[in-house]
Structure 1
Amino acid sequence: MNRSDTAEHDRTDPRGDSDFADQLRVHLAGYGELPFIEFERQWYSGDQVMRLIEDLMQVLDHAGIPDTAPIGMVARNRLPHAAATLGLIAARRKVAMIYSYQSAQSIARDIENLGLAAVIADRDDWSDTTLNAARHVGAAAIAVTTTPLSAEPLVDPAVPCQAPGVHMDEPGLSILSSGTTGPPKRLPLRVDILRHTVTSMTMGATGGRDDPPELVYWPFGSVGICQLLAAPFLDKRMVLLEKFSVAEWVRAIKTYGIKRAGVQPALLRMILDADVPTEDLASLESLPGGSGPLEPELREEFESKYGIPLMWAYGATEFAGSVCAWTPDDHRRYGAHKPRSVGRPLPGVRVRVVDQDTGEQLPTDEIGYLEGQVDVIGPDWIRTTDLASIDADGFVYIHGRGDGAINRGGFKILPESVRAELLRHPTILDAAVVGIDDRRLGQVPVAAVELRSAGDPPSEDELKQLVRDALPSHHVPVSIRIVDALPRNAAWKVKSAEVAALWTATH
């Protein structure tokens, strides 16, 4: 079979086959008095992190929580949550991540529905509403804090009431999808799958405690867990940011001489818009990226200014991380000729492109739906809603989301093509294009745009003409609105449903 029809790449995992939880436990214990995690510009030693983990385990033991019982984590990118998550994985516990960036009522609903024996949350997230939810289902409520670094029980467990429960047959994490097109979905990742999650990001990198630290800011509740696991996996320190900000991201890179850090398109635009001095990023050798398509114009603008290669990858929560990525060797050999590619499949991964209707595999360079098979997850091929093609060298190209296509009176519109034209306007920082219902045509496209910090705002007619000049007329949005900021989730992905609500709420 032609490798471009079902692409796979022969890259080896240098870490071997030892149990991931055992390896993590050894690495966590090895930091000792040395600095391990910087949070809010203060370093915490390995011993401090381990003491919190031991305190948490004692609280669980005193509450009588069985080793096999699921535990909820209202996940925030804060020091005690990082310590607790690492400790629970190392202890082979079953952990269900609960989205923290939602209302107290929504957190309470998750607590009531997941059938948990205990719930760990920041003291800030324990309100009367969430505490009552824990009492109602008989779950132990445990509060963690940074100052002091501690874990303490707030509600003792009781006889649990009936709840649907989270489905976890084996130890590991139940994480949330990004929720960009609807409510986040919950997916279980066994401990052995977490090895793939972290290796898909570290890409065979090695390190030690004297090396520059890992920079961690993706939300733990999702597949961003790979950033958190990377540091102890590589025996490195980490700088933990609760949320991304250009100032703190740049400070960490400049202060510690960081050589690589994950990015996504919105963050690149923010860095460019902030006009970060080139010398502040001089230590960076490359920037791996993902979480959305990288427009060639954005790549060219960033790489021209900073001289830092962008090594784009492709993955999904369903795949427990990346399935395709660039290696330094591939980038040196092919990068200049394949700037739109997301690289080739990682070790233990196969990808193919299939016809939407027949499911038949498509040949080289033809566009269809991407399917992937990851050895550690299982033998089944997982169908995505992403449109892709594979070239003769096995490199994968993503062409947008098939499920996001807008059907305007029988004419199909890919939102990415309209968005790409809007981004050509020099005042636009980012844009989102979605379809809304229309009585006559079924659907019509609309667009929301976020402006750069400087420059006069363009008129709606000016932006429509920009699209009209480049694409067939049915691509022109019926309405374009300027917004202060596009609605995003904690991973900086735009929430399409909330963009559409800007119009549907007025109808």
Structure 2
Amino acid sequence: MGARSRLAELLSKAPTDSRAVEFEESWWHWGALRSTARGLDASLTEAGLGEGTRVGVVLENRPEHLAVVCSVLATGRCVVTLNPLQPPERLAADIARSGLSVVVASPGTLDDESVLGAVTGTGLGLRLEPDGSLEPAGGSPRPDAETAVGVSIEMLTSGTTGPPKRVRLLDRQFDTALESSGQSPKKGALLRSGVSLVTTPLVHIGGLWSALSGLYAGRRLVLLRRFALESWVRAVERHRPPAAGLVPAALRTVLDAAVPPERLSSLRVVTCGTTYCPPELADAFFRAYGARVLMTYGATEFAGAVAAWTLPLHKRWWDTKAGSAGRPLPGVEMRVVADDGTEAALGDVGRLEIRTAQSPDGSGAWVRTSDLARLDVDGFVWIHGRADDAIIRGGFKVQPDQVRRALERHPAVHEAAVAALPDARLGHVPVAAVEPRPGCTPPTAQELTMSCREVLAPYEIPAHILVVDALPRTPSSKVSRVELLDLVRASLAAGGAA
């Protein structure tokens, strides 16, 4: 069953009093989700906005927002995600250039004059109240708005290296991704036991995938506004899930807080995606809590994961394959190619190409990614950074991931990040920021430079190193290189960088 028809089935047939989404320790039942979904469909139909309409949603981690997404998908329209976590002027600019017929947003978002002006200037505005009701916010549908029949979602990428871009996810991509992940509902069952914990932003693929795949399977959801340690731990204690998902930064937070193991004793596995997870971090979590950390690898363009660890793989291979991104999922083929496009030998590093029905180009096309990778004889894929991440410093190539690992060798460094700073003479130079390990005396930039000299070539050593309280992050908890460069520039302007 496709995602659209499955959501339509749930919205029409799920018992009104069945629990659907827990938010701030209170439940939204299927009846409440149905009411919001039907209210939106009625408003859009009355405005003449039918199948294929691109519906902008300033998407917050709230039940009524999830109900809107379900309604849009169930009625054959297209969800266009708009990020509420960006400053109002950037959100307004995104809305203004989006060419949308309609935008749905919360009262708090529409209270900003620049955002409201952008919404009503481009199309119809609908105010989504906390109780799930909808009210007109001004404007009218634009008659020349583009439609997107056959497109489920226009999803923002994470924007770690530059401005986020919007990627179209076709119906068949999303359906294939759900099927390959093993999330299909049990035959003949509308709902099932168990819960899914959703802690990452719905506006990015990781959070929205977690929520929609959980609903698709018929499970209840626990939806958090964001990852907050105590709220997440209480949710685990209340619902006793055997599995949960955490990004690497959240894994570190749990470990650093020394959460008592008995509070997380139900967990058997923790899936970890969005960005690279150091094997030593995964091992530390396993030793502390007995939950195996299963890494996943994917991209917005593929509507989710295309490679992953499973529990059986972890039990058999982790000791010898730690650091791998796992094996390709069923229906996914991978190969590595050299610069001239020829297929590389097993074990050689090159550009990763993927062939899958989750691809926007169809199941027969090889899609070249931006990632450098290698494949081994046992079918595991190893990611070696991004091909477009290489920093060319005066003709020398610097791999940021290699510099990051060198910085993280220092015992007082909790996490490091590296970015390319434009330089008039050399083209670009590597710069870095490090977050100190809790309980340790923060290292100096000079100490870090000396440590790097032990393992890096002179041209690989960062030109500037900042020691910060916390690394800047995107809403999906990836380190934001854009903001990192802003911090470096500010420090240089103040004469404070190393």
TM-score for both structures, normalised by structure 1: 0.90
Deviation at 1:260, TM superposition (A): 1.0
Query: Structure 2 matches for 1:356-435, cutoff 5 A?
Result: 357-377=339-359, 378=362, 379-435=364-420
Q: Which residue of 2 aligns with 1:7?
A: none
Report which stretch shifted further, 461-470 or 313-322.
461-470
Q: Which position in structure 2 is the counterpart of 1:47?
A: 31
Per-residue Cα deviation, 1:79-107 (whole angstroms, up to 9, x for no partner): 11111101211112122111222222222
Contact 2:177 2:358 (C-alpha < 8 Å) held by counterparts: no
Partner of 1:327: 310
The question of 1:57 aligning with 2:37 is answered no
Aligned length: 484
Task: Choose from 233, 245, 257 the match for 1:262.
Answer: 245
Counterpart code for 1:309: R
Deviation at 1:158, TM superposition (A): 5.0
Query: C-alpha displacement at 1:408, in angstroms?
Result: 2.5
1:238 is aligned to 221
Instruction: For residue 252 of structure 1, report the CA deviation from its aligned partner.
Output: 1.0
Task: Find the partner of 2:269 among 266, 272, 286.
Answer: 286
The residue number in structure 2 matching 1:77 is: 61
- Change in CA separation of 1:204 and 1:140 when aligned onto 2, cut-off 3 Å: closer
**Runs of 5+ unmatched residues, structure 2:** 494-498
For residue 470 of structure 1, give the secondary structure of its aligned residue in structure 2.
coil
Which deviates further from its counterpart, 361-370 or 318-327?
A: 318-327
Q: Cα offset for 1:442?
A: 2.8
Q: Give RMSD over aligned pairs.
A: 2.1
Contact 1:200 1:322 in 2 (8 A): no
Question: 158, 168, 172: which is aligned to 1:178?
Answer: 158
Structure 2 CA distance, aligned partners of 1:322 and 1:134?
33
Residues 472-497 of structure 1, C-alpha deviation per residue, up to 9 Å, x if partnerless?
Answer: 33322222111222221110011112
Task: Give, in whole Å, the separation in 1 of the partners of 2:407 and 2:252.
Answer: 14
Deviation string for 1:142-173 (max 9, x for gaps)? 11122x3322222151554x6xx667342411
Out of 163, 168, 171, the position equivalent to 2:148 is 168
Contact 1:422 1:467 in 2 (8 A): yes
Q: CA deviation at 1:459?
A: 1.5
Q: Per the alignment, do residues 210 and 426 of structure 1 end up closer, same or farther by CA in structure 2, a change over 3 Å counting? A: farther
More off after superposition, 175-184 vs 466-475: 466-475
In structure 2, relative to structure 1, the CA distance for the partners of 1:368 and 1:203 (3 Å cut) is farther
Per-residue CA distance 1:367-419 (angstroms, 9 max, x = gap): 00111122243032221111100001111011111211122333322111221
1:208–1:236 CA contact under 8 A, matched in 2: no
1:169-204 deviation line (CA, Å, top 9, x unaligned): 424111111111111111111223222344455567
Specify the SS of the correspondent of 2:244. Answer: coil
Distance 1:159 1:382, change over 3 A: closer
8 Å CA contact retained: 1:434, 1:447: yes
Q: Secondary structure at the match of 1:22?
A: helix
Instruction: Report deviation, 1:312.
Output: 0.7
What is the distance in 1 between the residues matched to 2:281 and 2:215? 33
Whether contact under 8 Å (1:55, 1:150) holds in the other structure is: yes
Distance 2:417 2:142 in 1: 48
User: Which residue does the alignment assign to 1:3?
Assistant: none
1:166 and 1:200 map into 2 onto residues whose CA distance is 31
Moved runs in structure 1, 4+ residues, more than 6 A?
203-208
* Structure of higher RCO (CA pairs closer than 8 Å, 6+ residues apart): 1
Q: Distance in 2 between matches of 1:337 and 1:317?
A: 29
Cα 1:458–1:314 shift into 2, 3 Å: same
Residue number in structure 1 paired with 2:430: 445
Task: Report the counterpart of residue 295 of structure 2 in structure 1.
Answer: 312
Identity of aligned residues (%): 37
Q: For 1:87 and 1:37, how far apart are their aligned partners in 2?
A: 15
- The match for 2:195 is 213
Query: Aligned equivalents of 2:262 and 2:190: distance in 1?
Result: 25
What does residue 18 of structure 2 align with? 34
Q: Which runs of 5+ in 1 are unaligned?
A: 1-17
* Structure-1 residue corresponding to 2:173: 193
Q: Structure 1 313/374 Cα, relative in aligned 2: closer, same or farther at 3 Å?
A: same
Secondary structure of 1:336's counterpart equals helix
- Which residue of the partner structure matches residue 496 of structure 2? none
Q: Cα offset for 1:209?
A: 5.1
Q: Which amino acid aligns with 2:77?
A: R
Structure 1 residues 442 and 134: alpha-carbon distance in aligned structure 2, compared to 1, 3 A threshold: closer
Amino acid at match of 2:91: I
Which residue of 2 is the match for residue 123 of structure 1? 107
